[in-house]
Amino acid sequence: MLARMDASTLTAWVGRTETIEDTIAAAPVAALAALLDRDDPPPKPGDAIPPLAHWLYFLPVHRQSQVGPDGHAIRGEFLPPVPLPRRMWAGSRIEFRQALPIGAAATRLSRIADVKVKEGRSGTLVFVTVRHEISGPAGLAIVDEHDIVYRGDTGKAVADPAPAPSNETWSRTIEPDPVLLFRYSAVTFNGHRIHYDLPYVTKVEGYPGLIVHGPLIATLLIDLLRRSLPGVDVKRYAFRAMRPLFDTAAFEVCGRPGEGAAQANLWTRDADGAVTMQAEASW
């Protein structure tokens, strides 16, 4: 399928930018706390949003006529027109430079930082890295480098399972039922059908169940850290998705202090004992 478009056409998207303005409203933060089952006080103007809550803003409000069959926006506007049908969030590297407060006017400058075409066991893969810079009233607040991977319909879909660590200090069991996945899709205005449309994800994309959002998993991991070490002010967070998680079984979010004094290692363990996401946080 990629032969329909030369790789140089895709790499020509490197450097393309997009700027979106938004207001950091309280309602999305309250909704996120609810779906995480947190007993947080209602957010009020001036409160700093929690780590990863920036994903609740600058949402993709494409017109219905601009949405593709998978629920994502048709490619070729800001993101390159990769002619591969499956798209997944592969990971991110995030810096929290200063607080982004409720009520603030904010701007997100996004740039296509890199496009790579590779051949893997699952066939052709295209990796797109987008660098987001979010600024508030006091200047640059968050830098988020987001990796997206595109692949075809055929071939081996996921990496071989690797045993998850068993030396966690903190852990929590998550039941990824369809209501949790729907609520996260709703609060992030994510139309990707793999997260809520069971007939589509099983019959069209061939997965065994609804797929748990990569950013939701990353949020559950950092939520574990917040529950285990209240008051920690995370400055850097990086995660890498290794295998998908489905709504067919519970999974565990796990963590332990890292080698440094202000660092933690975090990971998820599926029902088979395999690691599905690895993350690091520092403060």
Checking if the pLDDT of 5 tops 70, the result is no
Entry pTM: 0.93
SS (H, E, C) the chain: CHHHCCHHHHHCCCCCEEEEEEECCHHHHHHHHHHCCCCCCCCCCCCECCCCHHHHCCCCCCCHHHECCCCCECCCCCCCCCCCCEEEEEEEEEEECCCCECCCEEEEEEEEEEEEEEEECCEEEEEEEEEEEEEECCEEEEEEEEEEEEECCCCCCCCCCCECCCCCCEEEEECCCHHHHHHHHHHCCCCCHHHCCHHHHHHHCCCCCCECCHHHHHHHHHHHHHHHCCCCCCCEEEEEECCCCECCCCEEEEEEECCCCCEEEEEEECCCCEEEEEEEEEC
pLDDT in tens, 251-263: 999 999 998 889 9
Task: Tell me the average pLDDT across 262-282.
Answer: 98
**pLDDT tens, residue by residue, 116-128:** 998 877 688 999 9
